[in-house]
Amino acid sequence: MPTGVHIRDARQQLFDAAERVLLRDGAHALTSRAVTAEAGVAKGVLHRHFADFDAFLVELVRDRIARVDDQAAALRASAGTGTVAGNLTGALTALFDSVAVAIVSLVIFRDELRTRLRRTRPTQGIPVLTEASAMIASYLRDERDMGRIAADADVEALALSLIGAGHLLFAGREGAPPEREAVDKVVTTVIADVVQRRLL
């Protein structure tokens, strides 16, 4: 790209390019050169917006976390409607799109990225998965308050179980994501006790 040409929303263009590289080639192939080449911009564009490549990656992860926050609001709004299993199945399917799974792999793969994220995040755990677990726990808390799951349900433990199982279902797949029925089966199994006991 010629020098001096204005790039509309360069940050988002670079994030989108990074996600494409991650999906196509994996975390090991994600470099500043790969991102700028994929975006079709000069390498200097990335460094004009970010102090270094790890700073760029921190912002890429934060962008994905912001999307989880948006999903959390939508999931909480669904409390009291439909079925608990159906709402959770939809949330996990939306959450674990291929980009989110790739972002989690990136965080695990890059030590410096984890170090920088720990400096700026008050929570422990793996970014994206930690926020996703909080999202599920918050939703289940609302459903518990509405009496749709057992009053003594341990929503934090349930959320961890659902996020762990969901990640295992979606991660490392070469082809299409799992069928919704497979996700629903896992969700239904994990929450069966607290759904049944609210009827007793």
Residue 59 to residue 64: CA distance in whole angstroms: 9
- Interval 76-97 mean pLDDT: 95
- Interval 167-184 mean pLDDT: 86
CATH code of the region 62-197: 1.10.357
**What's the confidence (pLDDT) of residue 5?**
40
CA dihedral in degrees (132, 15, 25, 93; nearest 10)? 30
Residue 86 to residue 54: CA distance in whole angstroms: 38
pLDDT at 100 over 70: yes
φ and ψ at residue 157, rounded to 5 degrees: -65, -40
**What's the confidence (pLDDT) of residue 200?**
58
CATH code of the region 9-49: 1.10.10
163, two tokens: 């996020």
> Whole-model pTM above 0.75?
yes
Q: Give the residue extent of every domain in the chain.
A: 9-49, 62-197
Share of the chain above pLDDT 70, in %: 94
9-49 and 62-197 in the same fold = no
| Residue pair 53/44 in contact by the 8 Å Cβ criterion | no
The string of pLDDT tens digits covering residues 107-159 is 988 988 988 888 877 677 888 899 999 999 999 999 999 999 999 999 999 99
Share of the chain above pLDDT 90, in %: 65
- What are the CA-CA distances from residue 49 to residues 11, 27, 33, 45 (Å)? 7, 21, 15, 7
The helix or strand, by DSSP H or E, that contains position 150, with its residue range, turns out to be none
Phi-psi region at 93: left, alpha or beta (left = phi > 0; alpha = psi -120 to 50): alpha
pLDDT at 199 over 70: no
Residues in Cβ contact with 191 at an 8 Å cutoff, skipping those fewer than 6 apart: 84, 85, 88, 149, 158, 162
